[in-house]
Amino acid sequence: MAETFETTTEIVRRAHEMLAPPVWDYVAGGAETETTLRRNRDAIGALAFRPRILRNVAEVDTSTTLLGTRLRIPYILAPVGSLQAVTEDGAAASVRASISFGTLSTVSSVSQPGLEAAAEAATGDKWFQLYIRGDFGWVTEMVDRVRNAGYTALILTVDVAHYSRRERQIIGRWLPPGRRTLRDEQYQAMLDWETALRIKQVARMPVGIKGIQTAEDAEMAIRDGFDVIWVSNHGGRQLDHARAGIDVLPEVAAVVAGRAPVVVDGGFMRGTDVLKAIALGATAVGTGKLHALALAAGGEPGLVRMLQILEIEIKTSMGLLGVTSLAQLDPSYVANIGPVQNPPGAFPFLPGIGL
């Protein structure tokens, strides 16, 4: 089935057919009025390209490097909780697909089959995302497990001091599996810069901060030596009425100034979306929603096929922009022309889907 997909539109349509309505709402939805969710897409749409012509673009290289890992495209799989609700193999399918294709997966600490089993799914570089669910002794034990399992980086998600009100889930009276046995959430609410720095000091591996939304916090993360600066509003699923990820990106990239890789997520669905982020200073883009929908549509093969389609889109658009490597992209290749009137969304041929 997966090999028959020629567009991401077909993948999303198949996911919509396969997922039960409450699970679709979990994957597709956001917090409260879903204003942040919409802004993520609207802000990407507000950016127009400034392509250059008469360049030799017969050979185009879409690859980059992130913390020493070569990526076939500047795109990684962001952590998604409760992936077992969309595909039987959960996070293990993401790990296998990412390594098979040639990119990175970030395994969520609230997705099955669990830390060690996901790591064992395939040999290759992979990251682990940690929610804090215990005291510092618990954290130290978890970090040791992450390191011993062979993960190459630890990502601290810091924008969930309180779990948001996700009204689609509330109205449907549906809880994702990762929250059904949840305990000790107060430790995530207590997480501060001092504790984050202590975690970095005991980790003995690269540590990133995911959930940066201001230049001020990016500067503090760089000051404390964090290895990845991840711009994220949690896909519009946490604080409503926040700025779009791509709107935050330029100020963060300016203060980071090449001292650490910058990852961004929030509404990225197309190869053109990825290239806009690279032009504004990102090293790579992460996506959770499209990642989960591809798994729902076709499991591990569906996810590999989605990555292949993105690669085609990225390569084609780079050639049309007049660049042969990602390093050639800079802010001169985009212009903010303001919001698109009646934006069609990422998938205009799927009316009623709402993406």
What pLDDT does 50 receive? 98
What number is the average pLDDT over the span 5-10? 97
Q: How far apart are the first and last CA of the chain?
A: 23
CA 19 to CA 29: how far, in whole Å?
14
* pLDDT exceeds 80 at position 1: no
* pLDDT (0 to 100) of residue 345: 86
Average pLDDT over residues 211-218: 98
Nearest to 278, CA basis, from 259, 263, 267: 263
Q: Tell which residue, 256, 259, 315, 310, has the closest CA to residue 285.
A: 310
Q: Are 229 and 261 in contact (CB under 8 A)?
A: yes
Q: Which residues are catalytically annotated?
A: 234
- Say what the pLDDT of residue 153 is: 98
Average of pLDDT values for 235-260? Answer: 98
Q: How many CB atoms lie within 10 A of CB 270?
A: 19
Between 177 and 247, the higher pLDDT residue: 247
pLDDT recorded at residue 25: 94
Tell me the one-letter amino acid at 312: I
pLDDT average, residue stretch 257-264: 98
pLDDT band at 199 (very low <50, low <70, confident <90, very high): very high
Return the structure tokens found at 191.
């997480």
Q: Which of 352, 245, 351 is nearest to 288 (CA)?
A: 245
- In the three-class reduction of DSSP (H, G, I as helix; E, B as strand; rest coil), residue 273 is classed as helix
Cβ contact 77:104 at 8 Å:
yes
Please give the domain boundaries of the chain with CATH numbers for all domains: 2-323 (3.20.20.70)
pLDDT at 271 over 80: yes
pLDDT at 184 exceeding the cut of 80: no
Compute the average pLDDT of residues 196-212: 97
Tokens of 147: 């390191």
Report the distance separating Cα 5 and Cα 297, nearest Å. 10
The pLDDT confidence band at residue 340, using thresholds 50, 70 and 90, is: confident
Q: Give tens-digit pLDDT for 124-181.
A: 999 999 999 999 999 999 999 999 999 999 999 999 999 999 999 899 888 888 777 7
Q: Are 136 and 162 in contact (CB under 8 A)?
A: no
Of the ranges 74-83, 170-179, 254-263, which one carries the lowest mean pLDDT score?
170-179
Residue 221 pLDDT level (bands cut at 50, 70, 90): very high
Per-residue pLDDT band for 53 (boundaries 50, 70, 90) equals very high
Label each residue of 49-76 as H, E or C.
ECCCCCCCCCCCECCEEECCEEECCCEE
Instruction: Report the share of the chain in percent with pLDDT over 70.
Output: 100
Flag the least confident range among 13-27, 124-138, 334-348: 334-348
264 beta partners: 231, 285
Model pLDDT for residues 294-324, shown as the tens digit of each residue? 999 999 999 999 999 999 999 999 999 999 9
pLDDT at residue 52 tops 90: yes
Q: Which of 266-270, 284-288, 336-340 is the least confident region?
A: 336-340
CB proximity list for 288: less than 8 A, separation 6 or greater: 77, 78, 79, 80, 235, 265
Task: Name the least confident of 34-43, 83-92, 133-142, 174-183.
Answer: 174-183
How far is Cα 248 from Cα 232, in angstroms, rounded to an integer? Answer: 9
Least confident of 64-73, 166-175, 216-225: 166-175
pLDDT given at position 62: 98
Task: Report the mean per-residue pLDDT for the chain.
Answer: 96
- Phi then psi dihedrals of residue 121, to 5 deg: -65, -30
